[in-house]
């Protein structure tokens, strides 16, 4: 569970910070191995870079490389934080007297970080290639032409649904847990709940008794349900609409 929660938490943050990663990548590649003043500066500063990318490449370009970025964050942080938590739970970070050992903590953190960075490095390379892709008039660095899926492939819609699902489940799972428990609680003769007075009471009781992770129980199942549910709903809606207009003409 530590691996899963660490990875999902990092992915949730990545959804919001990836545009800055795109800007950072392009500004770092700008003027590569060229003396100052000998090249055209497409991006003068971070704010100008945001505007330029959005205007020339489109707003969607600010999320370029999001899929490998999410995979990288999940893998690297899941391994890094999960491994460290595992070492702490097993007691490897404490001395024989039970006190926390700074050298052991540092060694465990370094080892966990190395493992995460090593395994995530190939994915980071793909992410960098995708984030550097730009229209010719604002291109910087070498332009790799990676294309994971054809533009009209159903896989594009599925990946988009799974990516957007990260933010959705992080925001909605506590309320989903509360609603499930409200529906499932025992009631008295008048149908009044015996455990919770309402949704806020359910959230507060869960957080106080089970901790913050208690509010995210079932998040894995929620996430892997949401993506396919979204794409299948849209697929069936499109098919039914096509059939309707075909036979009503």
Best-predicted range by mean pLDDT (2-6, 9-13, 14-18, 146-150): 14-18
pLDDT at 21 over 90: yes
Nearest to 169 by CA among 225, 233, 235: 225
Distance in angstroms (rounded) separating the CA atoms of residues 107 and 115: 12
Report DSSP letters for 139-169, one per residue: --S------SS-TT-HHHHHHHHHHHHHHHH
Confirm if 233 and 167 have CB atoms less than 8 A apart. no
CA-to-CA distance for 184 and 206, rounded, in angstroms? 14
Inform me whether the pLDDT recorded for 249 exceeds 90: no
Contacts with 128 (C-beta within 8 Å, 6 or more apart), sequence order:
25, 65
Structural domain spans, the chain = 2-138, 154-247
∠99-211-85 over CA atoms, to 5°?
40
pLDDT tens digits along 162-217: 777 777 888 889 999 999 999 999 999 988 999 999 999 999 999 999 988 889 88
What pLDDT score does 183 carry? Answer: 92
Who's near 73: CB < 8 A, 6+ residues apart? Answer: 7, 10, 11, 13, 14
- Report how far apart the first and last C-alpha atoms of the chain are (Å, whole number): 54
Residue 36 makes CB contacts below 8 A (sequence gap 6+) with: none
The tokens for 199 are 């949704």
Q: Which fold has domain 2-138?
A: Mitochondrial carrier fold (1.50.40)
Position 158 scores a pLDDT of: 67
Only one residue has tokens 């207009």, namely 245
In 3-state terms the chain splits into helix, strand, coil percentages (rounded to 5) of 70, 0, 25
**What values do phi and psi take at 136, rounded to 5?**
-55, -35
pLDDT of residue 156: 65
Given pLDDT bands bounded at 50, 70 and 90, which one contains residue 226?
confident
Give 125's Cβ-side CA count (13 Å radius). 4
If you ran DSSP here, which 8-state letter would residue 45 be given?
S
Sorting pLDDT into bands at 50, 70 and 90, what band is 137?
very high
pLDDT at residue 147 in the model: 67
DSSP 8-state assignment for residue 94: B
pLDDT at 160 over 90: no
pLDDT the model gives residue 152: 65
Please enumerate in sequence order all residues whose Cβ is within 8 A of that of 162, keeping only pairs 6 or more positions apart, or say none.
223, 226, 227
32/52 Cα distance (integer angstroms): 19
pTM (2 decimals)? Answer: 0.64
| Token pair for 14 | 């990545």
Q: Which two tokens stand for residue 142?
A: 């070498």
Residue 58 has pLDDT above 90, yes or no: yes
Q: How confident is the model at residue 94 (pLDDT cuts 50, 70, 90)?
A: confident
């Amino acid at each position: 569970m530590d691996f899963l929660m660490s990875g999902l938490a990092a992915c949730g943050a990545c959804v919001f910070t990836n545009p800055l990663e795109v800007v950072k990548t392009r500004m770092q590649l700008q003027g590569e191995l060229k003396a100052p003043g000998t090249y055209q500066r497409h991006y003068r500063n971070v704010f100008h870079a945001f505007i330029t990318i959005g205007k020339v490449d489109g707003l969607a370009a600010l999320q370029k490389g999001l899929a490998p970025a999410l995979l990288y964050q999940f893998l690297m942080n899941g391994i890094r934080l999960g491994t460290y938590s595992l070492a702490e739970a097993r007691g490897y970070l404490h001395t024989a007297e039970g006190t926390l050992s700074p050298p052991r903590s540092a060694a465990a953190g370094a080892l966990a970080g190395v493992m995460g960075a090593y395994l995530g490095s190939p994915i980071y390379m793909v992410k960098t290639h995708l984030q550097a892709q730009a229209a010719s008039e604002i291109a910087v660095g070498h332009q790799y032409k990676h294309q994971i899926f054809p533009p009209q492939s159903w896989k594009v819609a599925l990946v988009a649904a799974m990516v957007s699902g990260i933010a959705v489940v992080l925001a909605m799972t506590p309320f989903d847990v509360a609603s499930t428990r409200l529906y499932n609680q025992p009631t008295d003769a008048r149908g009044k709940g015996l455990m919770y007075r309402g949704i806020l009471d359910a959230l507060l009781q869960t957080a106080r008794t089970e901790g913050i992770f208690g509010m995210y129980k079932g998040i894995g199942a929620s996430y892997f349900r949401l993506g396919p549910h979204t794409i299948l709903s849209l697929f069936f809606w499109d098919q039914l609409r096509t059939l309707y207009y075909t036979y009503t003409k």
